């Protein structure tokens, strides 16, 4: 059976030899990114009870939607995300 490139990638990183549509697999990401919405995501993260991310070297926070911040709440989101990044160091 031939697999799509997405299936091949998922098999490689899940350690499975075979997957099919509908299967649930677990893959640890090699790198993740968040953006201007990070302040909201941080609140959700902290609700899980965790204080530290799994690997701070595999996370990038990029402000790309509201730069420069035009509204006070956007500026506050950037501030909170920056403070979170510092706490993870």
pLDDT (tens digit, 9 = 90+) per residue, 2-60?
999 999 999 999 999 999 999 999 998 899 999 888 888 999 999 999 999 989 999 99
Euclidean distance between CA atoms 5 and 8, whole angstroms: 5
Q: Can you give the pTM of this predicted structure? A: 0.70
Phi, psi of 66 (to 5 degrees): -125, 60
Whether the Cβ atoms of residue 36 and residue 63 lie closer than 8 Å to each other: yes
């Amino acid at each position: 059976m031939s697999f799509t490139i997405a299936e091949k990638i998922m098999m490689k990183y899940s350690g499975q030899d075979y997957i099919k549509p509908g299967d649930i697999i677990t893959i640890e990401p090699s790198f993740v990114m968040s953006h201007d919405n990070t302040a909201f995501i941080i609140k959700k993260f902290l609700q899980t009870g965790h204080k530290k991310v799994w690997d701070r070297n595999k996370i990038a926070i990029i402000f790309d939607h509201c730069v420069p911040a035009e509204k006070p709440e956007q500026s506050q989101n950037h501030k909170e995300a920056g403070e979170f990044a510092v706490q993870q160091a």
